[in-house]
């Protein structure tokens, strides 16, 4: 049985728009947790979920932005497939720009994003990936991240670059069939 874990991005939640679209599509085969903004807590939650599922299901991670960064670490740690949606590959740099008061996009609650949080992200950096484990979906008009950085990191993986779009990844629903195909195949390349 195939199961999915959707990993939201910075300031996101398991109740966000993208998570809701995935939940509607994959119904009882997906978990969309609302993760802590503290990297170690988020990773711990995800590890617990994976370890509860991995013995009786084929787990595919779906990570967006910072969630993509976490998905890379977890995919390599557990040997899982991962779908990365406009992934952050260097969040310890990009999130330096938002130090201080930040907020959750779903409920507007505030939290303090500190230098210690960006530094902690380095613990989860993966320099060498297993290319066949990844499907990378990028849009060129991502207003927060330079899509070409992820394109270079994953040059040997399956990468689909779509002109236009934005950081949220416009029309992600059009990729559901591709995501399912990737998750179900033993060899995707």
Place of tokens 């995800």: 46
Q: How many domains does the chain have?
A: 1
Residue whose C-alpha is closest to residue 178's, from 162, 160, 165, 161 = 160
Sequence-separated (6 or more) residues with CB below 8 Å from residue 58: 1, 2, 3, 183
Place of tokens 């509607």: 24
Residue 23 in any domain: the answer is: yes
Q: What does the pLDDT average to over 64-83?
A: 98
Residue 189, pLDDT score = 45
Q: The domain spanning residue 78 has which CATH number?
A: 3.40.50.1820
Residue 189 in any domain: the answer is: no
pLDDT band at 187 (very low <50, low <70, confident <90, very high): low
Residue 66 in any domain: the answer is: yes
Domain range enclosing 73: 2-184
Distances (CA, A) of 128 to 18, 76, 154: 28, 9, 10
Residue 29 in any domain: the answer is: yes
Query: DSSP per residue over 75-100, as a string?
Result: HHHHT-EEEEES--S-HHHHGGGG-E
Q: What is the pLDDT of residues 114-153, one digit of tens each?
A: 999 999 999 999 999 999 999 999 999 999 999 999 999 9
Q: Could you tell me the pTM of the whole model?
A: 0.95
Place of tokens 């507007």: 108
């Amino acid at each position: 049985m195939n199961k999915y874990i959707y990993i939201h991005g910075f300031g996101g939640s398991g109740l966000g728009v993208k998570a809701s679209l995935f939940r509607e599509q994959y119904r009882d085969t997906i978990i969309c947790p609302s993760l802590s903004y503290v990297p170690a807590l988020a990773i711990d939650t995800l590890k617990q979920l994976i370890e509860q599922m991995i013995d009786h299901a084929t787990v595919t991670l779906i990570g967006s932005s910072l969630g993509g960064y976490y998905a890379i670490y977890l995919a390599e740690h557990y040997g899982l497939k991962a779908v990365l949606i406009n992934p952050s590959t260097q969040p310890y740099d990009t999130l330096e720009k938002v130090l201080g008061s930040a907020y959750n996009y779903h409920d507007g609650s505030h939290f303090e994003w500190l230098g210690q949080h960006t530094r902690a992200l380095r613990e989860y950096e993966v320099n060498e990936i297993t290319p066949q484990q990844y499907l990378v979906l990028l849009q060129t008009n991502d207003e927060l991240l330079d899509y070409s950085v992820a394109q270079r990191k994953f040059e040997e993986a399956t990468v689909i670059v779509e002109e236009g779009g934005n950081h949220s990844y416009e029309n992600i629903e059009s990729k559901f069939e591709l995501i399912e195909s990737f998750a179900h195949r033993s060899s995707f390349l």
